[in-house]
Amino acid sequence: MIRAIAISLVLVLGIGVVLPLMSEFAEAGPKHHRYSKKKKKKIRKYSKKWWRQYRARMKRRKALLARKRSLRLRRIRLARMRQNAKTPRPEVSKQTPATTAKVETSPAVLPTGEVAPKSWKKNQASTSELQYRVDDENGAQLGSASISVVGPSMGDDNNGRQKTVGGVPTTSLRRNVIDQMIRENGWVVNDFQKEIGGKKVYVVVAQSENKGAVQSRVFYFAEVGGRIYSVSTNSPTDTTERIAAESEKVLDMLVRRRNPQQASLNK
What pLDDT, in 10s, does the model give residues 56-72? Answer: 999 999 999 999 998 99
How far apart are alpha carbons 116 and 140 in whole angstroms? Answer: 17
How far apart are alpha carbons 177 and 219 in whole angstroms? Answer: 8
Tally the C-alpha atoms within 13 A of residue 62's C-alpha that lie toward its C-beta.
6
Which of the pair, 89 or 58, is modelled with greater confidence?
A: 58
Q: Which of 43-47, 70-74, 132-136 has the lowest mean pLDDT?
A: 132-136
How far apart are alpha carbons 130 and 217 in whole angstroms? Answer: 17
Residue 97: what are its φ and ψ, rounded to 5°? -55, -35
Which of 188, 169, 170 is CA-nearest to residue 178? 188
| pLDDT of 60 | 94
Query: What Å distances lie between residue 257 and 15, 44, 52, 110, CA to CA?
Result: 120, 72, 63, 11
CATH fold of 107-256 reads: Protein Transport Mog1p; Chain A (3.40.1000)
pLDDT above 90: percentage of residues in the chain = 14
Is a pLDDT exceeding 90 seen at residue 153? no
What pLDDT, in 10s, does the model give residues 195-249? Answer: 888 888 999 999 988 777 888 999 999 888 888 888 889 888 888 888 888 888 8
Domain residue extents for the chain: 48-84, 107-256
| pLDDT of 260 | 52
- pTM (2 d.p.): 0.56
